């Protein structure tokens, strides 16, 4: 069984999230890309906050941890 490229997996997961939002009658996700480094993840968090985003659906656990680190007060900038 061949591995599915990450960008294909991400696209599929995003399509599922968009479909779920549509089914629930809510706006489509505000999508931002980030790296696993804290500073870029924090920049994404700041952009989501500016748009009143209240939840995050990360691609994987590593990305989720970067986003959580980016949310921490006193984080490196």
Cα-to-chain-centroid distance, residue 72? 16
Task: Evaluate whether residue 76 is within a structural domain.
Answer: no
pTM over the 0.85 mark: no
Q: What is the mean pLDDT of residues 33-37?
A: 89
Nearest alpha-carbon partner for 13 in 50, 52, 63, 51 = 63
Task: Evaluate whether residue 30 is within a structural domain.
Answer: yes
Residue 59: pLDDT band (50, 70, 90) is: confident
Which pLDDT score is estimated for 10? 83
Residue 5: pLDDT band (50, 70, 90) is: low
Residue 20: pLDDT band (50, 70, 90) is: very high
Task: Evaluate whether residue 1 is within a structural domain.
Answer: no
Is 77 within 8 Å of 70 (Cβ atoms)?
no
Structural domain including 36 reads 6-71
Task: Evaluate whether residue 27 is within a structural domain.
Answer: yes
Q: Where are the alpha helices (DSSP H) in 1-77?
A: 6-24, 38-50, 61-71
Which pLDDT score is estimated for 16? 92
Task: Evaluate whether residue 14 is within a structural domain.
Answer: yes
Number of domains the chain contains = 1
Burial 53-67 (b: 16+ CB within 10 A, else e): eeebeeeeeebeebb
Q: Note the pLDDT tens digit of each residue in 61-76.
A: 999 999 999 998 765 5
């Amino acid at each position: 069984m061949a591995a599915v490229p990450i960008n294909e997996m991400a696209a599929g997961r995003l399509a599922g999230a968009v479909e779920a939002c549509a089914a629930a009658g809510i706006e489509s996700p505000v999508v931002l890309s980030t790296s696993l480094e804290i500073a870029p993840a924090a920049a994404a968090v700041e952009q989501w906050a500016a748009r009143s985003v209240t939840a995050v659906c990360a691609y994987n656990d590593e990305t989720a941890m970067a986003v959580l680190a980016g949310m921490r007060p006193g984080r490196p900038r």
